[in-house]
Each structure stands twice: as structure tokens, then as C-alpha cells.
A and B are shown apart, each in its own frame.
Chain A
Amino acid sequence: MLFNSVPFLAFVAAFFALWPFFRGRHNLRWGYLVAASFVFYGWWDWRYLLLLIGSGLIDYAAALAMQRWPYLRRLLLVASLAANLGSLGLFKYLDFCIENANEMARLAGWNAEWPLLHLTLPVGISFYTFQSMSYTIDVYRGQLTPTRNVLHFFAYLSIFPQLVAGPIVRATQLLPQLESQTPPTAEQRWEGLRLIVHGYFKKMVVADALAPVVDSAFSATAPAPSCPFWWVVMVMFALQIYCDFSGYSDIARGLGRWMGYDFPLNFNHPYTAVGFRDFWARWHISLSTWFRDYLYLPLGGSRGGPWRTHFNLWLTMLVSGLWHGAGWPFVLWGALHAAYLSLERVTQWPQRLCDAGMRLPATLLTMALTLLAWVFFRSNSVTQAVAVMKILFDPSLSSLQPLMWLGPTNMLLVTVMFLRELYFWLGLDRTPLPTARWHVALQPLSVALMIVACVLLRGPGQAFVYFQF
């Protein structure tokens, strides 16, 4: 079920109509949450629900077994990770591996052509697999007591607002909240509504409007030979993917508030970052902290000397690239970010620029380097990415004519979003809000107008970009 679809709106209305009744009933609450989440997920294709349940049951049982037989903890963890990574590997990476094996065989002069399986990627598999793995790893580390109630486990694993595109929530954060029977306060409901509406606005008005232009630019048989055009297209893609993904996270967090739960912040104005450590502390926070806690730090983090630190960092970023997609452009995207982070670690350039009073150039440089990395992320192939990169750095291709094709509405959206991020970059959001009565009274009107804008200024409907991951 897509958040921006009529069936989802009907589903949410029905869910929250009954939620006050179930919330106060201890056992029924868990069943209701799980049933609703399974309906939400199974709406797309009920067969993949079996995969979710199967991999969940393995982790649920593995965690309980770790508690029961502590001396088998390591073995059980390996089994649980193998099951999770196995299903992820089968659905997401097998064809990629076969393609590469075929290519290698061709290069070696063999006439091998192993057929591709073309399996459909189950929606959200990367998200719920990682969430499930964090559960068993936390139990293995002794940071979490496993729940004995299977409904509690599945309520944590499959709670519908964040099931298919995050934020990836840890059991230590969510399970205690799920125990609570306190109904959400009026403030929580209001905050939830604001988050939901902001999320829909970012998705439906901004991301969905920019998507066709970006898609069209990348679907052309030959990239338009204009350097300014491609810089603007990349800015549009940067905004599209940000608004698409952070919009989803905002909606998920808002729905969580309405249920009385608090999901963690997933995006914190990443394009205002100064440097790439800052960027990754602001972009897809739940995933970057997952990689930090379950991959980078277990590899040794920065404790093993400079070379080992760089190795850990590169490995983490390459895996992060692969997590986003089974393709070499994603690996190169991860590699580029690893290079940025390594360079930053060696030179400390963001700190130096800020110390010299050059925070704005540092932010713009971070933004420009991020755009270059997005080229690999968005391109359909490495060849296309290289072609676009060549144009981006060819000042002789200075024709402004193709900019006309991007449309004034889209340019306006880019400007509005740029000003919005500037507002946060300047720290104006930290200024206390006026408490005057008229200002408070105007808040419902402003949010209501945003709802109207979501309906009447919506772009052509699109699935969420991060669903493919």
C-alpha cells in the first residue's frame, strides 16, 4: 500500500477509528497492530508476507534460543544472519552476481550464459531485514532481553508506518514504547498531523513534480549536451530524492505520534551539512547509525590506526552502496562517499574552512560533491554516469537553451526548497516562535492550506524512490 494512495487513506482512517478501543486492551492491542501491519504489507502481494513472517520467526526463535542456551549464542547469531542475508541475497543480489559471473566468464573466453532469475524484489526487504538483524545482534550482545510473545516481536518488526521504508527502529527504542497504553496527547496528535502533512507536501508537491523531469533527462538515448542543464537536473534529483524519502519518514513518524509512539528522526536537513561526516549524521540517520553500530564499530572503527580506520570506512560505505542497489553505479556512489570521508578525515577541510569563517563555501562544496555522487546513484549505468560527469565538467557546453525544458514550475519549486533549507542553515528555526494568540490561531490554517496544496498541486503520482531498496 502506498502512502499516497486512496486505499492507504481508507486503511489509516479505519485503523485509527478502532485504535482507541484496542490501545487500552493489553493483549488485543498487539494482535490488532500485527493484523493491521500484515494487511498493509500483504496488500501489495500477500505471498511476500510469508517471507516476512518466515524470516521474522527465525530471528524470534534465534533470540529466545540465545537466551536459553548462551553457549550457542554465536552459532545462533550466525544462523540468524545467514537466513536474513540469504533471503536478501536471493531476492536482491543473485541476478547481479549472475550477470557479473557471466561477464567474467566472457572475459575469460568461456561461453557460459547462466540465466537470470528475475525475481521480484519484495517491498521493504532491506529495511525489515536490517531491523530484524539488529534485534538478534542486540540480544547476542546482551543489550536486549528477547520478548517471549511472538505478537510483541511482530508488532516491533512489522509496525506498518515504518515497515517498508524506515526509519529502521531498534527494538530497544520501540518495544518499551509498544508496552505503553497511554493515549496520545492533543500535542502529540497535532505534532503528528504537522509531520504527516509536511511529509505529504514534500512527496506529492515537490518530489512528484520533479520526478518526470529527472526521469526524462536520464531516459534520453544521449544526454543533453549542456553543462548548466545537468547541474540543474542534479539539483532537482537531489531535492527529489530528499523530499521523497524524508517525506516518507515524516509521514511514518507522524503516524507513529498518532499511535502514541516516537520514531527516531531520519533526516535533519542534510543539504545544510558542512562536510561529509556532518552529511551522514543528517542523511538517513537510522541507516547510517545502523552501519556504524553493526558494521563499522565491530570492524574496529577508528581504534586500529589510520590505515585500518580508512579500510573500515571504505568497507562500510561500499556495503552501504550495495545496500541501496545491486549495481555498480551504487557501489561507485558508496566509493565516492568513502573517498570524501577519507579525504575529510585526513585534511579536516570542513573544520578549517569554518574556522576561517568560510562556512558558506564549505556548505556549497559539500553540496556540489554530493551532487556529483548522486550522478552515479541515479544513472542507469556506469557509462551513462561517466557521460553525464563529462558534461558537468565541460564548460564549453554552456548552452542555456535546454533549461527552458525544465519548466518554470519546477524551477520555482527548486527555489522554494533552496530558501527553505537556507532558513535552517541560518538557524532561524531555533528562534522562539511567537506565542501571540493570532499566531497560534493561524497554525491550523497554514497546515490546512498545506493539505489543500497536497491535493491540488500534486505532481504526477509516483511510487516512493526508496521502495526499490
Chain B
Amino acid sequence: MKRLSNLAGNVVRDPTAQTLLLAAGILALVAVCRPQEKSGLPIDVFWYEKVHFRQSADCVLGGDSRIMCGASPAVIADALPGFRVKNFAFSGCGYSPDYLNQLRDVLHPSSSQPIIVLGVSPGSLTRMAVERKSGFSAEMARRSQPRPRPSWLADAIQNRLRPIPLRQIAGFLRDPWTKTGYFQEHHADGWIASQRVPRSPTLTVPWYRQHFRENQVCPAVLADLLTATREWSSGGIRVYAVRMPISAELKAVEDELAGFDEAAFVARFEAAGGRWLPLNQDGYVTGDGSHLERESAVRFSQWLAEVIREDLQTDSLFTQRLPASRMRLNAPVDAAENVPISRR
């Protein structure tokens, strides 16, 4: 006992041990007290599940992070009962032939009314987006890997001891009682519900301004997308496209610099057999100018489901498939896979 107390005494007097203990204490305090930004599925599991969405949906949403954060399959499924909906969008994703094929593969082969919804952003039509090694390309490598097992160490590093942006520190010093940060909830259907506190609608504007100076909409990428649309449409798949809502400041930058002619795109897309969904962008709220906040994502998803439902009502296949009594908004859904994690 005496030896133990001597050892403890030596450790306490040793500056190296003092420092390491002090640092460990501060880090433990931060890990415990800091609001957790990630919830829902563990991130590794989320991506693993997402890249394994194969032949599992009647309706698949594709595109970049704008639709990944902006459209909830569960909310859409509420309005399209019986439809299995998946969000197969990835950060920074471009419409490469590989991605388009994988997107098509998410649809179930025996689906009676297969639907693909494309979230269109100028960024997803650039050469850089299709050649990017992160996002879609990197996540697809998980297909050949075993299902990740959540670990406390990974959780501690990725979540509890995640880096703090200096902006957030400044915010904390100004108002320590408001929980600031970028909160994300990962859903098994592929949606990432996000919320940024405080909101900053111009946050991504400088980045995009620089980005579009060097990377503009690429005609070859556009042609690949239209070719896929033509093939899908002629194969009986309904293909919708929508320009995701963003902040007015960012939209102005995109319209000025990205080389995206929306009217021309719509004409060519519809000529290829797709259906453009015109959206009134008013009233949608983004956290950083580019990504919808959770409530706006839900609202957008309800709108999307509604316009698809209205469009399908004219389709005999769809009306045969569902009784009229069930064709109303917010009909109850049984499919467990379309229920958000938070409600299970």
C-alpha cells in the first residue's frame, strides 16, 4: 500500500505524468459535455447499408449531398403507400455512367412502377464531380468489405472528440448556452437529416464561387445523363428531375458562373423522356446555403411525393396497383424499412 502511494506521489510530481493526466481529464470532460452531432445509424454502418441498396426500391432518389440531405424516403413513402423508397445520393456525387448504372440497380426488377428522381445541381454535372475519388467512389469500396461493427473508440474519435471549427469556438464564447454545431441524423433509408446552428446561408458561397470558376457544367456529363434518361424512360421507368432548393445568394452564383442553362436542360431532359418538376424555391431554409435543414427537407419531400402522386394518378398502372382510398397524403405505411430510425 505504501509502495503504491509512493508511486502515485511520484506520478503526481512528474510534469510528464501531470500533463498527460491533465490533457486526458480535459478531453474526457469535453467528450462528456459536448452536444453530440451525429445520431441515428453509426456513420460507417450508414454508408455500408447505403452502398448495399440493390434491387430493393420502387423509387430511388439520386444526386449529390443536396438531395442526400434534402429528401426523406420515409416522408415520400408516407404519401406513396406501398412504394419502397431509397435515397441513393452521395456527397459531391457527379452523374457518371457508373453512378447512373448503380442508381438504376437500386430499383427492384419486379417493381410495377419504378421511379427515379434526380436531384439536379450544376455541381453534379461537372467533370470534377464525376472524377472525384471521394464520396460515391470511395464509399462503393465498402461493398467488398465486411459490415462494420460500431466501436466506442471510433465513436469517440469521429463523434465525441471530433474537430471543433474555430467559428464554433467563437460562437461558444459569445453564447455558451446555445448548442451550436452541425447536427446530422443518419437514416437507414439513406437520408441524412441535418441542422446547422447557427444557420449561415452564405457559408458555401465563396467555395462555390471559386469552384465554378474552374469547373463548369460539362456537356459530356450532361449527355451521359440524358442518354440514361432516354434508356430508362423507354424501359418503363418514370424519371423525374428537380433542381434542389438552395439559398438565393448561392443560386445567383450558380446561375452566373456554373454554365448551367436550366431552360435548355429542361427541354433536353423532357425530350429524352424525363419529367421536370418545377419547384417554387421560396420558403425553403438551408443551413449553409446549399443543404436543406431538416424541416425544409421534410417539406420538400412532402411536395415531391405530392407531385409524383398527382403525376401517377393519371397512370393506369399506378391506379390499378393501389386502391383509390389509399391514394392520399400521409397514408399509413407498413414497410419497416421506410420508417425513420428515430420512430422505430
* Contacting residues, chain B, for A221 (C-beta < 8 A): 128, 214-215
Chain B residue nearest to A205 in the complex (CB): B163
Chain A residue nearest to B18 in the complex (CB): A444
Given A402-B210, A444-B15, 4 further pairs, Cβ under 8 A: A189-B16, A192-B16, A449-B26, A456-B161
Query: How far is it, in angstroms, between the C-alpha of A293 and the C-alpha of B157 when the chains are bound?
Result: 45
Query: How far is it, in angstroms, between the C-alpha of A459 and the C-alpha of B14 when the chains are bound?
Result: 31
Contacts A444-B18, A447-B19, A452-B23 hold; do A412 and B163 have CB atoms under 8 A apart? no
Q: 0/1 per residue, B193-218, Cβ < 8 Å to A?
A: 00000000000001101100111000
Report whether B19 and A451 are in contact in the complex, using a CB–CB cutoff of 8 Å: yes
Report whether A457 and B16 are in contact in the complex, using a CB–CB cutoff of 8 Å: no
Q: 0/1 per residue, B161-176, Cβ < 8 Å to A?
A: 1011111000000000
Measured CB to CB, the closest approach of chain A to B43, in angstroms, equals 15
Report whether B163 and A458 are in contact in the complex, using a CB–CB cutoff of 8 Å: yes
Binding site secondary structure of chain A: helix
Contacts A189-B16, A404-B206 hold; do A445 and B22 have CB atoms under 8 A apart? yes
Report whether B164 and A456 are in contact in the complex, using a CB–CB cutoff of 8 Å: yes
Q: Does B263 contact A (CB under 8 A)?
A: no
Query: How far is it, in angstroms, between the C-alpha of A443 and the C-alpha of B23 when the chains are bound?
Result: 12
Chain B residue nearest to A192 in the complex (CB): B16
Report whether A405 and B16 are in contact in the complex, using a CB–CB cutoff of 8 Å: no
Q: 0/1 per residue, A195-228, Cβ < 8 Å to B?
A: 0000000000000000000000000111010000
Q: Does B8 contact A (CB under 8 A)?
A: no
Of A193, A412, A448, the residue contacting B26 (CB under 8 A) is: A448
Contacts A186-B14, A189-B16, A224-B210 hold; do A6 and B166 have CB atoms under 8 A apart? no
Q: Does B32 contact A (CB under 8 A)?
A: no
Q: Does A190 contact B (CB under 8 A)?
A: yes
* Contacting residues, chain B, for A222 (C-beta < 8 A): 214
Q: Does B138 contact A (CB under 8 A)?
A: no
Q: 0/1 per residue, A422-460, Cβ < 8 Å to B?
A: 000000000000000000000111011101100111110
Q: Does B30 contact A (CB under 8 A)?
A: yes
A interface residue count range (under 10 / 10 to 19 / 20 to 34 / 35 or more):
20 to 34
Q: 0/1 per residue, B1-42, Cβ < 8 Å to A?
A: 000000000000011101110110011001000000000000
Report whether A451 and B210 are in contact in the complex, using a CB–CB cutoff of 8 Å: no
Query: How far is it, in angstroms, between the C-alpha of A48 and the C-alpha of B19 when the chains are bound?
Result: 37
Q: Does A409 contact B (CB under 8 A)?
A: yes
Measured CB to CB, the closest approach of chain A to B6, in angstroms, equals 15
Chain B residue nearest to A222 in the complex (CB): B214
Measured CB to CB, the closest approach of chain B to A155, in angstroms, equals 25
Query: Within B245-259, which residues are at the interface with A (CB < 8 Å)?
Result: none
Report whether B153 and A6 are in contact in the complex, using a CB–CB cutoff of 8 Å: yes
Q: 0/1 per residue, B293-320, Cβ < 8 Å to A?
A: 0000000000000000000000000000
* Contacting residues, chain B, for A186 (C-beta < 8 A): 14-16
Contacts A6-B153, A456-B30 hold; do A444 and B22 have CB atoms under 8 A apart? yes
Report whether A405 and B23 are in contact in the complex, using a CB–CB cutoff of 8 Å: no
Query: How far is it, in angstroms, between the C-alpha of A448 and the C-alpha of B210 when the chains are bound?
Result: 38
Of A189, A190, A192, A448, the residue contacting B22 (CB under 8 A) is: A448
Query: How far is it, in angstroms, between the C-alpha of A193 and the C-alpha of B14 when the chains are bound?
Result: 12
Query: How far is it, in angstroms, between the C-alpha of A121 and the C-alpha of B113 when the chains are bound?
Result: 52
Chain B residue nearest to A402 in the complex (CB): B210
Query: How far is it, in angstroms, between the C-alpha of A402 and the C-alpha of B214 when the chains are bound?
Result: 12
Query: Within B136-195, which residues are at the interface with A (CB < 8 Å)?
Result: 153, 157, 161, 163-167
Query: How far is it, in angstroms, between the C-alpha of A445 and the C-alpha of B210 when the chains are bound?
Result: 41
Question: B residues bordering A, Cβ < 8 Å?
Answer: 14-16, 18-20, 22-23, 26-27, 30, 128, 153, 157, 161, 163-167, 206-207, 209-210, 213-215
Max chain A Cβ within 10 angstroms of own Cβ: one of B19, B164, B165, B213: B19
Contacts A220-B214, A221-B214, A452-B30 hold; do A409 and B165 have CB atoms under 8 A apart? yes
Report whether A455 and B214 are in contact in the complex, using a CB–CB cutoff of 8 Å: no
* Contacting residues, chain B, for A444 (C-beta < 8 A): 15, 18-19, 22
Max chain A Cβ within 10 angstroms of own Cβ: one of B30, B157, B209, B214: B214
Query: How far is it, in angstroms, between the C-alpha of A448 and the C-alpha of B19 when the chains are bound?
Result: 5
* Contacting residues, chain A, for B206 (C-beta < 8 A): 404-405
Report whether A6 and B157 are in contact in the complex, using a CB–CB cutoff of 8 Å: yes
Pairs A–B under 8 Å by Cβ, sample size 20:
A189-B14, A190-B15, A222-B214, A224-B210, A401-B209, A402-B210, A405-B207, A409-B165, A409-B166, A443-B15, A444-B18, A444-B22, A445-B22, A448-B20, A451-B19, A452-B23, A456-B27, A456-B30, A456-B161, A456-B163
Query: How far is it, in angstroms, between the C-alpha of A222 and the C-alpha of B30 when the chains are bound?
Result: 43
Measured CB to CB, the closest approach of chain B to A254, in angstroms, equals 11
Report whether A451 and B165 are in contact in the complex, using a CB–CB cutoff of 8 Å: no
Chain B residue nearest to A445 in the complex (CB): B22
Query: How far is it, in angstroms, between the C-alpha of A222 and the C-alpha of B211 when the chains are bound?
Result: 11
Q: 0/1 per residue, A376-414, Cβ < 8 Å to B?
A: 000000000000000000000000011011001100100
Chain B residue nearest to A223 in the complex (CB): B214
Report whether B26 and A452 are in contact in the complex, using a CB–CB cutoff of 8 Å: yes
Measured CB to CB, the closest approach of chain A to B242, in angstroms, equals 29
* Contacting residues, chain A, for B207 (C-beta < 8 A): 405
Instruction: List the 5 shortest-distance A-B pairs measured between CB atoms, nearest first.
Output: A451-B23, A448-B22, A405-B210, A448-B23, A444-B19
Measured CB to CB, the closest approach of chain A to B135, in angstroms, equals 14
Report whether A193 and B19 are in contact in the complex, using a CB–CB cutoff of 8 Å: yes
Measured CB to CB, the closest approach of chain A to B220, in angstroms, equals 14
Q: 0/1 per residue, A12-43, Cβ < 8 Å to B?
A: 00000000000000000000000000000000
* Contacting residues, chain B, for A404 (C-beta < 8 A): 206, 209-210
Measured CB to CB, the closest approach of chain A to B150, in angstroms, equals 15
Chain B residue nearest to A404 in the complex (CB): B206
Measured CB to CB, the closest approach of chain A to B221, in angstroms, equals 14
* Contacting residues, chain A, for B27 (C-beta < 8 A): 451-452, 455-456
